[in-house]
């Protein structure tokens, strides 16, 4: 395996792990509930979430560089994390991802498992919106790893 391929795999793995931690453990309850609101407060909640998420990813990459001796160039690192942050913010504003799902024929899947008024639904078991959100982010993690290791 080439060093470039190994670097890509390690960077993707670090980003993937950091994404899961940052998106679920580091994100505050207030950010999670407010980031999709069509208000200034909603935009700021989303910005705060993306800032802490990006810091979590940067810390994971720093640990990888320190422990594994990975060398990452500053410009590709900043470009990659910037692209990832923008893509994450875009999707987490919620209406944007919902509109994309609608346009490509995924509205039904997006709405799968969403709470319905008057029903005892269990959205904590997973929703289509959550699945599409996470797959969007993971796809961008792949692109981010490509940029960082290019």
Total of domains in the chain: 1
* Residue 81 reports pLDDT greater than 60: yes
Residue 140 has pLDDT above 80, yes or no: yes
Q: Is residue 125 part of a domain?
A: no
Residue 72 lies in a domain: yes
Residue 122 has a pLDDT of 54
Please count the helices (runs of H) and the strands (runs of E) in the chain.
7, 0
How remote is the C-alpha of 4 from its chain's centroid?
A: 24
Residues 6+ apart with CB under 8 A from 61: 11, 14, 15, 18, 72, 77, 148
Q: How confident is the model at residue 113 (pLDDT cuts 50, 70, 90)?
A: confident
Instruction: Please give the Cα distance from 1 to 145 (Å, whole number).
Output: 17
**Closest listed residue to residue 128, CA positions, set 110, 115, 114, 116:** 110
Average pLDDT over residues 4-14: 96
Per-residue pLDDT, averaged over 64-71, amounts to 95
Mean pLDDT of the 110-135 span = 76
pLDDT tens-digit series, residues 39-62? 999 999 999 999 999 999 999 999
Q: What's the pTM value of the predicted model, to 2 decimals?
A: 0.89
Confidence of residue 109 (pLDDT cuts 50, 70, 90): confident
Structure tokens at 117: 């008024």
Phi-psi region of 99 (alpha: psi -120 to 50; beta: other; left: phi over 0): alpha
- pLDDT exceeds cutoff 60 at 125: no
Give whichever of 1-5, 95-99, 118-122 has the largest mean pLDDT: 95-99
Residue 23 domain-assigned (yes or no): yes
CA–chain centroid gap for 140, Å, is 8
Closest CA to 11 of 123, 145, 136: 145
Q: Using N-to-C axis directions, what is the helix angle for 128-149 and 95-103, rounded to 10°?
A: 100
Q: What is the mean pLDDT of residues 75-87?
A: 98
Domain span holding position 66:
3-113+134-149
Residue 129 lies in a domain: no
79 inside domain: yes
Asked whether residue 43 is assigned to any structural domain, the reply reads: yes
**Are residues 137 and 88 in contact, defined by beta-carbon separation less than 8 angstroms?**
yes
């Amino acid at each position: 395996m080439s060093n470039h391929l190994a670097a890509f795999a390690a960077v993707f793995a670090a980003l993937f792990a950091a994404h899961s931690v940052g998106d679920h453990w580091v994100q505050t309850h207030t950010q999670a509930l407010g980031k999709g609101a069509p208000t200034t407060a909603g935009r700021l909640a989303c910005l705060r979430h993306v800032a802490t998420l990006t810091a979590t990813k940067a810390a994971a990459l720093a640990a990888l560089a320190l422990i594994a001796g990975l060398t990452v160039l500053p410009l590709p690192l900043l470009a990659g994390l910037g692209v990832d942050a923008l893509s994450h913010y875009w999707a987490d504003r919620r209406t944007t991802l919902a509109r994309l799902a609608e346009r490509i024929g995924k509205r039904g899947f997006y709405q799968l498992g969403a709470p319905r008024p008057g029903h005892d639904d269990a959205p904590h078991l997973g929703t289509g919106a959550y699945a599409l959100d996470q797959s969007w982010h993971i796809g961008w993690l792949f692109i981010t790893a490509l940029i960082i290791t290019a």
